[in-house]
Amino acid sequence: MNVMNKAVSTISHPLDPLGIEEIERAVAVIKTADFHNDRVKFETVELSYPDKAFVRAWSTGMPFPRKAFVCAYDTATGAVYECLVDLAEDRLISRELVPGARTAVMPDEIELCAVNVAKDPDFIAAMARRGITDLTHIQVDPFSAGNFGYEDEADHRIVHCWVFHRNSKYDNGYAHPVEGLNVIYDLNTEQVLRVLDRVQIDVPMAEHNYDPRFEDIGKLRRDDLKAIDIRQPDGPSFSVDGNRVRWLNWDFHIEFNAREGLVLNDLRVRGEGGKASESRPVLYRASIAEMVVPYGDPSYGHYRKNAFDVGEYGLGRLANPLKLGCDCKGHIHYFDGVVTDTSGAPAVIENAVCLHEEDDGMLWKHTDYVTMEVEVRRSRRLVISSISTVGNYEYGFYWNLYLDGTIELEVKLTGIMYVGGLNDVAGERYGTQVADGVVAQNHLHLFCARLDTAIDGDANSLVEVNMVQPPMGEGNPMGNAFRAEEAVLATEKAARRSRNADTERSWKIINPNRLNKMGKPVAYKLMAPSMVRTYHHAETLLAKRAAFLDHHVWGTAYDAGERYPAGRYVNQSKGDDGIAVWTEKDRNIENTDLVLWHNFGILHLPRLEDFPVQPVVKCGFLLMANGFFDRNPTLDMPPSTDG
């Protein structure tokens, strides 16, 4: 197993994330601004993206401007400022006050909240009423509070805390929910606002662990596994230059930022012949732009569980430093990530992104039944991955590139289900009792991918495909006929689309200006096997805040400011920003710069097998070449051997 070197601060491409020095310079500029004081904190310090046309025209060796976007917030007044900094001149270009905004919940704020809650006298008294006076190992989970229209919360930037007990330092706290006890905590003032002691239920104390340091788990370890050795004696088939990656027919740029985590930029592919053929753009930018995890238990405070993990926390801020053998095997290249804390200080997440290639089984095969000649080729894929721990859950994001031009996003979910104590209001109607007194609640994991399309160029159209079964009679006398009926979705409102199993509905992105050998527009098809529906009522504030979930597919005209489907400031938002609002403009999206948004996910009805730690479950989608190439683009693959 080999590891390749990586550099944090090498800036060689206009889309490279800010380096450590650039972050420090941007923060220094803000600290000299007239609005800055000792109560001002930093939410975001990231690259301000250069104009798309500039990036398209740029080539290696050309100079490029560097600007930083900075979001700072005053914890004394609640004011939120968006700032633009010129890094060439160390100058504040602009600053704008954003009325009513609540910034994301930052990791260092979460840590301080847990400490402060455990010291609060009302909280200590509530725990004592449950017979728990030793708070040495108490676990306080600050949870984004959402927005439920409560007037006494309107002027506060808050979290809604859940409480668990641990019998010892390494004990699994999720086996011991303190049901009926919640805390409202103000992140700006760093104070407890209210202790909500709704009902007193005995805390389940039986241990349910997964860590082998516990004797009952350690003795389960089996000894009949044989080693699987993955080697690449000639090295990998990819090359890395800064954040640019080339692999066989693929060429792209890797980005990592605090909010979205792993991002792919300027994704290009060649057909057969590899380097000798033309490099053709497919996507300008691809990311997970939002996700939300709504829970289905209406009892006590559980209705507040609906975390927007991208906008309210940030997948990048919570990314794991990956280690060898954890999830990547073979010849690995790691990329570090750089994020900032609330002081604006840069923090390096080592090995935040893993790059490696894998064998993928059979690519194609045929046995000629006349000659009995056999031709078979093995497939392989390039995997670009990152894993984030958001409280109790782990989310692994795997962008897989294939030899035939397919792009796949596979999301792997594991970790620990969020639980509550068994209570008389909900019982087991809205979840599964996974241990005595411990209920894992019904919930969904819903992801929104933002795909800035560039199918052979930036002028694209979105096409819906529905299967049509003609009636029996003339033209279909035997009743067997079916055909695909295509329709261009020409405007943003027309492109608000949802699944339809009866017509096997699907979508593709075409370039009407580029034709394949059969005279049809080149295209990529969205293969969407993980579409699920939501279960919150339309009149709720959650429905307004998460309006991007109203449809499985949206199409919008490219706008550099429209990056997040639930809006820029999701924490305690009101639903007055985001894709449902933007698309009211009903802009033209035919033969223009198109952004495709796709919602997918998992409905999780908990199983006993998911506790105390959940085996991986998967969801995702594919973008598959559909008339983009004139024939199978993998005819250049050599016969499959071991060397």
> Please, which residues have CB within 8 angstroms of residue 268's CB and are 6 or more apart in sequence?
250, 251, 252, 279, 280, 281, 282
Percentages helix, strand, coil for the chain (3-state, rounded to 5) are 15, 40, 45
Point out the catalytic residue in the list 174, 185, 393, 402: 393
Secondary structure of 75-122 in the HEC alphabet? CCCCCEEEEEEECCCCEEEEEEECCCCCCCCCHHHHHHHHHHHHHCHH
- Residues forming a β-bridge with 507: 464, 526
Q: Which residue type, as a one-letter code, is found at position 208?
A: H
- Rounded Cα distance between 461 and 33, Å, is 44
Are 258 and 314 in contact by the 8 Å Cβ rule? The answer is: yes
Q: Report phi then psi at 349, rounded to 5.
A: -95, 105
Point out the catalytic residue in the list 141, 186, 266, 309: 309
Secondary structure of 405-473 in the HEC alphabet? CCEEEEEEEEECCCEEECCCCCCCCCEEEEECCEEEECEEEEEEEEEEECCCCCEEEEEEEEEECCCCE
State yes or no: is 309 an active-site residue.
Answer: yes
Residue 500: Cβ within 10 Å count: 13
State yes or no: is 393 an active-site residue.
Answer: yes
Minimal CA–CA distance to 172: which of 392, 492, 426? 392
- Rounded Cα distance between 337 and 330, Å, is 21
- Rounded Cα distance between 311 and 130, Å, is 35
User: CA 277, 279, 284: angle at the middle one, nearest 5?
Assistant: 165
Which residues participate in catalysis according to the annotation?
Answer: 309, 393
